[in-house]
Amino acid sequence: MINFANAELGEIAIHRVGNKHRATRNFISPALYDLDEATRELLHNFFLKPMKRQIDNLHRFVHNEDVNLNEVNIFAKTIFNDRESLLTESVNILEHLYRQSTHPSIKTGEVYVVFIDGIVVLDEVVSAIGIFKTEEKSQFFQVRPDGDMMAIKKQKGVNINKLDKGCLILNTAMDSGYRVLHVDNNQYDAAYWYHNFLGLDYVKNENFHTRNYLQLCNGFSEEVVAAGADQGEQIKFLSNSVDYFTSNEVFDLEDFTKTVIPEPEAAKEFQAYHETYIPEKTNGFNISKAATKSASRAFKSTIKLDTGIQIKLDVFNPESSRQFIERYYDEDKGMYCYKIFFNEELP
């Protein structure tokens, strides 16, 4: 869907944002930064590698009244229409971010606004605007000759393996809000970056619906199934849910309920939970295999016992849970027991 293989970093503006609450000021650079090739390559990986992991979580700009009133959407549109306006609009972006820094926990940091060419979206080559913020500084040391001795000097700098905050604004779907990839690894204030500064919401496509229904299944497992069954049954339900999503191309709620929750009482509980979690039933959407795999990573897959033993099950293989594990009560020991069948131990 989105490919960064031929993406190239262009013009870049670098500023520093303060904290309005603490009255720390912004630092505004008077000109674009001239990147050498080594730094360009370093920043290419630093900015875009985290975005590659977000390609199944597409967002768009929104606004309570009109998307054309979303500030970052306006700044991006100006830059896309006039590339030479990047420095001016980067200052507008900086000041807009500063106005959202109204809580003492919001960190100051460097803000990078960069123009990027050569990103492929649905077989179309588009440009993009990246807005990135670095907040945390890591300690490191350098070792170098000092006279006739080697000396160690402690320093602080940006960790190139962790981007604190960032978004990539793709020059597509302008009329309904540019499509955006988003990263926030320092979520000390969930509203600050995502809602207040960027004003984003999910694009409700097959990835969104697949992820949403699997999160519903996970919630139902933890809040309803777990209340009346053991951990093994809880994991079996999740395994059966994942099996439905991996085995079918299109999601049908009625078919899903009959297949995964055939017991009438449990099906009624699921319907009631569904109405609370997703009031508007979404039916007939194409199932995203990538979103299925991603969302399933959060599922519980380990049975933890009070004897210190743990049994790990594969949520992508529900047949193993059904055929090769049994739970029963051992009268002689006066304890519950899991019986597991296998042919040989694997290395």
pLDDT digits (tens, 9 = 90+) for 37-87: 999 999 999 999 999 988 888 999 999 999 999 999 999 999 999 999 999
Paired strand residues for 152: 143
How far apart are the C-alpha atoms of 24 and 5, rounded to whole Å? 39
165, 193 contact by CB (below 8 A): yes
Q: pTM above 0.85?
A: no
How far apart are the C-alpha atoms of 128 and 170, rounded to whole Å? 5
User: Residue type at 175?
Assistant: D
| Residue 300 structure tokens | 């519980």
Give how far Cα 281 sits from Cα of 237, 252, 253, Å.
21, 10, 8
Q: Which residues of the chain have pLDDT under 70?
A: 300, 315-322
- Quick one: pLDDT at residue 307? 87
- Quick one: pLDDT at residue 322? 67
β-bridge pairing 165-170 and 124-134: antiparallel
- Quick one: pLDDT at residue 93? 98
198, 284 contact by CB (below 8 A): no
- Quick one: pLDDT at residue 315? 67
**Residue 78 exposed, middle or buried by CB count within 10 Å (0-12, 13-18, 19+):** middle
- Quick one: pLDDT at residue 80? 97
CA proximity to 78, closest of 7, 178, 158, 5: 178
- Quick one: pLDDT at residue 230? 74
- Quick one: pLDDT at residue 222? 86
